[in-house]
Amino acid sequence: MTVAVIMRSRNSDWVIHQALASLASQRFASYELLVVDSGSTDRTLAMVAEHRCRLIQIPGARYQPGPVLNDAIAATQADQLVFWNSDCVALHDGVLGMLVDALAGADAAFARQVPRPDAHGWVRRDYAKSFPGSGEAPPWMALSLVCSSMRRSAWIDHPFYAEAWASEDTEWGVWARSSGRRVAYRADALVMHSHNYTCAQLYGRRFVEGEADAFIHDRRIGLGRALAHGAVEAARDACWSLPRGDLRGAG
């Protein structure tokens, strides 16, 4: 069994040192690390150079998640793949081993994510719903690549899609589910990862995710339904955050 860890980075100097340090501290240590950097202009590359890895550099304009992941996988012969975001920090030293072990009975697996201490209330509510502390992940969480693993043979059967700029993990997870493949959720593999997006950033992210979801699920949602759904979620965010005294970013 050979394992490759693939990490994508771009201007991640605020966190990549923690991510790489937490990876280096894992008890499972038999892996090749590939870092794919898409045009960092901060201290990211200097921090990466402090760690033993294979660095692949691409222009920022060339970055598109699906094709970049496919190219990185093609650059290694490992039969088990681990995806570890440059802003993902393991909270114990068994995360990597758990994700690798999960592939004994699954085609892919993903870790439980908890938000950073400074996460806004709506972010914490979203993570509490999406990544429960035990049991299975909710139906809408088919796969999250933030910290995950995959059999190479499963990727060969279905490489990451390139038709949209986002949700490559959701598309793969939906394919796996519809094809009778197993994606395991490891609630005991605990990592820290979250973003406090501005309204403009959140709009941009939801826009590209909406385009991707229309492709993945082959459906279109009208403006009225989208606005109604947004209003309901904003109300739920406020109801969750108000008793906790945190309305930052709610809605």
Confidence of residue 217 (pLDDT cuts 50, 70, 90): low
pLDDT digits (tens, 9 = 90+) for 54-108: 999 999 999 999 999 999 999 999 999 999 999 999 999 999 999 999 999 999 9
Confidence of residue 167 (pLDDT cuts 50, 70, 90): confident
Task: Say if residue 198's pLDDT is above 90.
Answer: no
If asked whether residues 124 and 211 sit together in one domain, one would say no
- Is 27 inside any structural domain? yes
Give all strands (DSSP E) within the chain, no chain letters.
3-9, 32-37, 54-57, 80-84, 89-90, 108-114, 147-151, 183-192
Return the pLDDT at 203: 40
If asked whether residues 35 and 88 sit together in one domain, one would say yes
Q: How many domains does the chain have?
A: 2
Task: Say if residue 151's pLDDT is above 90.
Answer: yes
Return the pLDDT at 199: 53
* Mean pLDDT for all residues in the chain: 85
- Is 250 inside any structural domain? no
Task: Say if residue 188's pLDDT is above 80.
Answer: yes
If asked whether residues 94 and 148 sit together in one domain, one would say yes
If asked whether residues 162 and 238 sit together in one domain, one would say no
Return the pLDDT at 240: 41
Q: Are 19 and 86 in contact (CB under 8 A)?
A: yes
- Is 170 inside any structural domain? yes
Return the pLDDT at 122: 85
Task: Say if residue 206's pLDDT is above 90.
Answer: no
Average pLDDT over every residue of 152-165: 90
**For residues 142 and 109, what is the distance between their CA atoms, to the nearest angstrom?**
10
The parent domain of residue 135 ranges over 3-192
Average pLDDT over every residue of 127-155: 96
- Is 251 inside any structural domain? no
Return the pLDDT at 162: 85
If asked whether residues 207 and 188 sit together in one domain, one would say no
If asked whether residues 122 and 150 sit together in one domain, one would say yes
C-alpha closest to that of 18 among 41, 59, 47, 42: 47
Enter the pTM of the model.
0.84
Task: Say if residue 247's pLDDT is above 70.
Answer: no
> Where residue 8 sits, what CATH number does that domain have?
3.90.550.10
**For residues 195 and 146, what is the distance between their CA atoms, to the nearest angstrom?**
12
Return the pLDDT at 241: 47
Q: Starting at the earlier edge strand, list the strands of the sheet with 54-57.
A: 54-57, 32-37, 3-9, 80-84, 147-151, 108-114, 183-192, 89-90
Distance of CA 247 to the CA centre of its chain: 25
Task: Say if residue 189's pLDDT is above 90.
Answer: yes
